[in-house]
Structure 1
Amino acid sequence: MRGRAKLTKEERSWILYDWANSAYSVAITTALLPIFFKDYAAAQMPDYLSTAYWGYSSTIATLIVAILAPILGTIADYKNYKKRFLLFFLLMGVVFTASLSLIQEGQWFFALVLYVLSSIGFSGANVFYDSFLTDVTSKERMNWVSSSGFGWGYIGSTIPFLIGLIFILNPSLIGLNSTISATKLAFVITAAWWLIFSIPIMKNVKQTYYVEKTKTPIKDSFKRITQFLKNLKGNKNVFLFLMAYFFYIDGVDTIIRMSSSYGLDVGLNANDLLVVFLVIQIVAFPFALLYGRLSKRFSTKSLIYFAIFVYTFITVFAFFLETIVQFWILAMLVASSQGGIQALSRSLYGRMIPKDRSAEYFGFYNIFGKFSAILGPFLVGIFTQIGKSSRWGVASLLFLFIIGAILFYFVKEPEKA
């Protein structure tokens, strides 16, 4: 790729936001908060029930974002609106992430409320962050820039997570008397990291492509949503991609959200889990970049297919998981393809859509992703509660990857330039 190694200031600033907000993905979505919730906020609750409640809260958060995303995305395509929405949801996520430090023992409902609100901020900001991809780079560079975002995001997320983990494992280093106090401090560190490294995207990235503002922007935005849905019927390729994405990204997101709860339920030690998640972020960095480089030799579609296959195997393997060694194997498999499937899906979609309506289209991209993320945790919650074992919840994800792979077969990949 011409000039691939030399990123522009706008591309670097866009990538740095992944460096910033990925700290939330690790600490809040995947590692620290789920363990904190089960061991402290919901300490008196049966394991299977706290896992189910965690799944339900994830469903509520993603449902709210899924409803808002296409509406806000359509409005954000107007000139100078996209960054305003990004800033609003960014600050919302940062404030409620820091507020997690206020949770006291047994306050499981309060913990879930704060988690839902912080998740809305995180996911809502991502709608507009993703849509800025079309503003900061060209079609031929999208795979590399998108993969770089996920890759550097993994490394960026390890730094505040590692700092928090050191304090959690040895609270006396900073004068704290418990791991609980150290975990609460880690939530504040995560929020601060997210806010500080979001400054470049707010300063340097501009909304290059936009729709001129009308006299009735909200009314006209709803008209554009209606028109989008009508056009979607005629754009078979985009429709098929979104349907395929709906299913396979469901499994990916659910594994990310529910992995800590599942690991604890099958008897793994909380400290071992934290170390595993740290290593996942480090290992995922080169693999995310590798997917970006391989996209020059292989089609984006074939690489996404490979990642779906890896996740299908992960789902089967997880059902039989018993030991920490097996969890390590599982973790390395996740690390190998987690960033790749997300980055290449984002860039493939970005090459399919009109640039001046990127926020609108990425609003629907996120609604398909978020509605799928409603289904996955809900299935895990239901099957876990009915079977009184998280293994049955994990097993339900297999069908989602299979359906997604079948639909993705019919998607035609557009030219890169």
Structure 2
Amino acid sequence: MSGKACKSIWNPQVVAWVLYDFSNSAYILLVPAVAFAVYYRQVVAGGHAGADLQWSFLVSLSLAIAGFLAPFIGSLADVGGLRHRLFTLCTVICCLLTGLLWFITDGMVVVGGILFIVANVTYAIAISLYDSYLRSIVDNSRSARLSSIGWGVGYLGGILCFILCYPLLKGGLATDNLVQYRTSFTITAGFYLVFSIPAFIMLRGIVPRENSRSQFSPSIVMKAYAEVIKTVRQWRAHKEIFKFLLAFYFISDAIVTVIYFTAIFLQTNFGMPVTEILILTLIVQLIGIPCTIIAGVLGDRIGKKIVVLATLVVWVGVVLLMVFGRHPVVPYLMAGTMGLVLGSTQAVLRSMFSDMLTENHAAEFFGFNALAGKVSSVLGPLTFGLIATATGSQRLGLASLLLFFGTGAVILTTVKPSRSAKHVSKW
């Protein structure tokens, strides 16, 4: 929306952008984070001793593929004016494959794994393209606020989809409930697709180049590839951006590992049924709504880096609870503490990175952001899976996350604030 004032939160493009956060949260909650994660481990993979490693391999592989593709696809979006088409295509593919998870039953390890990998890859790429729109619809002084509102509204979407699916999930993984349980994947896919439609319509042509009739062609592909290589070779010209990405590498590694393995951890170490885990997840979401929005307001007022560093201290507390806590109340303390920072850290980091970019290269650099996040996320889940399998203790695997959070915090303190000019769009 270059050059056009965005005077109200009710501007259709802003609302459509926020609503996409509302829609995609259903996928991340009910597929990789909780419902399908537990289903794959216990039913598809049989729940044997190596099931943790199998699931961690699928998660790691999907994130690695997405990470390496994201900068190239982001560059293709920028160079060819194809961002909206690629964003829409990836979202639709993810929704379709998520719906097809209904057909995955016990023993379908390979087919179920492939469907999940491709769905997770397209989801991750769609998100990196979606995040790049933030640079175009809000100025730096309001970016943390809008990013956090989107994340908070996303929690509402996750909660609503959870409510819709709960009657199907409450029977757990009992044999006579598996058909109903799998139906939750189809509902999640439909939810994601339906509430993405406003973004498909309203975000079209938000950048002037996207109004052109650029077509996918070999020359555009080669130019996009050349731009990515040029950016890597000239990394010193973007030193602060790449320093931020290194910090994000470690922070994202730890957060994604917590997200992808909390459900399995609670089931294994506290004997929690799926329904109780979903309730705890709901608690995280409910607490996260106001906390994420407050973090965004504070980020715009007192500094985004300060807010992020404060949330990392809380993350250390979450990990320590998981490593040492054994009392039955610990899962609830953990859920409450995680709710304070799960959305806050990621939303403010998203706005902090957006502030550092120019509009013409936003999709490419958010692709590098995805690369840092996804490739780093290979190491965390894989390390967790290897340690948990080798030692028989998931707690020891989680203890490694303290190093990731600490390293990310130290590097982030060295990142200089963005000096980029505020662009003309106002929210």
TM over 0.5: yes
Question: Is structure 2 residue 348 aligned with structure 1 residue 344?
Answer: yes
Tell me, in whole angstroms, the C-alpha distance in 1 between the residues paired with 2:175 and 2:218: 59
What's the counterpart of residue 236 of structure 1?
A: 239
1:55 alignment partner in structure 2: 56
- For 2:219, the equivalent position in structure 1 comes to 216
Q: Partners in 1 of 2:225 and 2:53 — Cα distance?
A: 36
How many Å separate the matches in 1 of 2:413 and 2:208?
31
Aligned 8 A contact 2:77 2:86 in 1: yes
Letter in 2 for 1:398: L
CA contact (8 A) 1:319 1:392 kept: yes
Aligned counterparts of 2:190 and 2:26: Cα–Cα separation in 1: 10
Write the deviation string for residues 71-112 of structure 1: whole angstroms up to 9, x where unpaired: 111010135400111111111111111111111123233322
Q: Distance in 2 between matches of 1:44 and 1:141?
A: 47
Query: Residue in 2 aligned with 1:178?
Result: 176
2:291 to 282, 287, 294: 287
Instruction: Describe the shift of the 1:8–1:398 C-alpha distance in structure 2 as closer, same or farther (beyond 3 A).
Output: same
Q: Give the aligned residue type for 1:192.
A: G
For 2:191, the equivalent position in structure 1 comes to 193
- SS of equivalent residue, structure 1 residue 207: coil
How far apart, CA to CA, are the structure 2 residues paired with 1:146 and 1:186? 28
Matches within 5 A, 1:178-327: 178-205=176-203, 206-208=205-207, 210=209, 216-270=219-273, 271-327=275-331
* 1:161 corresponding residue in structure 2: 162
2:417 corresponds to which letter in structure 1?
E
Closer/same/farther in 2, CA of residues 27 and 324 from structure 1, 3 Å limit: farther
Contact 1:210–1:357 (Cα < 8 Å) also in 2? no
Residue 126 of structure 1 pairs with residue 127 of structure 2: yes
Partners of 1:88 and 1:289 lie apart in 2 by 30
SS at match of 1:105: coil
Query: Where does residue 402 of structure 2 map in the other structure?
Result: 398
Contact 2:128–2:367 under 8 Å retained in 1: yes
Distance of 1:198 and 1:88 partners within structure 2: 12
Q: Distance in 2 between matches of 1:70 and 1:98?
A: 27
TM-score by length of 2: 0.91
Q: Deviations over 1:26-70 (max 9, x none)?
A: 100211111212332223522xx2112111110100111111111
| 1:373 maps onto 2:373 in alignment | no
Q: Secondary structure at the match of 2:32?
A: helix
Q: Which residue of structure 1 aligns with residue 20 of structure 2?
A: 17
RMSD between superposed Cα atoms in Å: 2.2
Change (3 A) 1:111 1:267: farther
For residues 334 and 116 of structure 1, what CA distance do their matches in structure 2 show? 26
Equivalent position amino acid for 1:395 in 2? A
Residue 55 of structure 1 aligns to which amino acid in structure 2? S
Q: Tell me the equivalent position of 2:389.
A: 385
Give the Cα–Cα distance (whole angstroms) in 2 for the partners of residues 352 and 207 of structure 1.
19
SS at match of 2:369: helix
How many residue pairs get aligned? The number is 410
Do the aligned residues in 2 keep the contact of 1:135 with 1:209 (CA within 8 Å)? no
Q: What is the distance in 1 between the residues matched to 2:326 and 2:7?
A: 43
C-alpha displacement at 1:267, in angstroms? Answer: 3.0
Paired position in structure 1 for 2:46? 43
Distance 1:264 1:4 in 2: 47
Verify the 8 A CA contact 1:162 1:278 in the aligned structure 2: no
- C-alpha spacing 1:219/1:193, structure 2 compared with 1 (3 Å): same
SS of the residue corresponding to residue 78 of structure 1 reads helix
- Gap change, CA 1:397 and 1:255, over 3 Å in 2: same
Q: After the TM superposition, which of the residue ranges 264-273 and 389-398 deviates more from structure 2? A: 264-273
Q: Aligned partner of 1:207: which letter?
A: I
Q: CA deviation at 1:177?
A: 8.8
Equivalent residue, structure 1, for 2:365: 361
Distance between the aligned counterparts of 2:40 and 2:91, measured in 1?
23
Letter in 1 for 2:245: L
What is the aligned-residue identity percentage? Answer: 24
Aligned to 2:70: 69
For the residues of structure 1 that align with 2:38 and 2:193, how far apart are their CA atoms? 24
Q: Is the 8 A contact 2:145 2:300 kept in 1?
A: no
Q: Which runs of 5+ in 1 are unaligned?
A: none
Change (3 A) 1:234 1:313: same
Give, in whole Å, the separation in 2 of the partners of 1:296 and 1:125.
26
| Contact 2:80/2:220, CA 8 A, preserved across alignment | no
Q: Does 1:333 align with 2:321?
A: no
Q: Which amino acid aligns with 2:402?
A: L
Matched, 1:102 2:103: yes
The alpha-carbon deviation at position 308 of structure 1 amounts to 1.1
Secondary structure, counterpart of 1:269 in structure 2: coil
Q: Secondary structure at the match of 1:327?
A: helix
SS where residue 326 of structure 2 aligns?
coil
* TM-score in terms of structure 1 length: 0.93
**Deviation of residue 129 (structure 1)?**
0.6
Tell me the alpha carbon deviations over residues 156-193 of structure 1, each in whole angstroms, 9 at most, x when there is no partner: 1111112211232269xxxx993312211111110000
1:130-177 alpha-carbon deviations (Å, 9 max, x no partner): 111122222222111111110000011111112211232269xxxx99
- Against the structure 1 CA distance between its residues 263 and 12, is the aligned structure 2 distance closer, same or farther, given a 3 Å change threshold? same
Partner SS, residue 235 of structure 1: helix
- Does the 8 Å contact 1:251/1:397 carry over to 2? yes
CA shift in 2, pair 1:218/1:389, >3 Å: same
Change (3 A) 1:291 1:111: same
Aligned match of 2:425: none
- List runs of 5+ in structure 2 lacking aligned partners: 423-427
**Partner amino acid, structure 1, of 2:178:** I
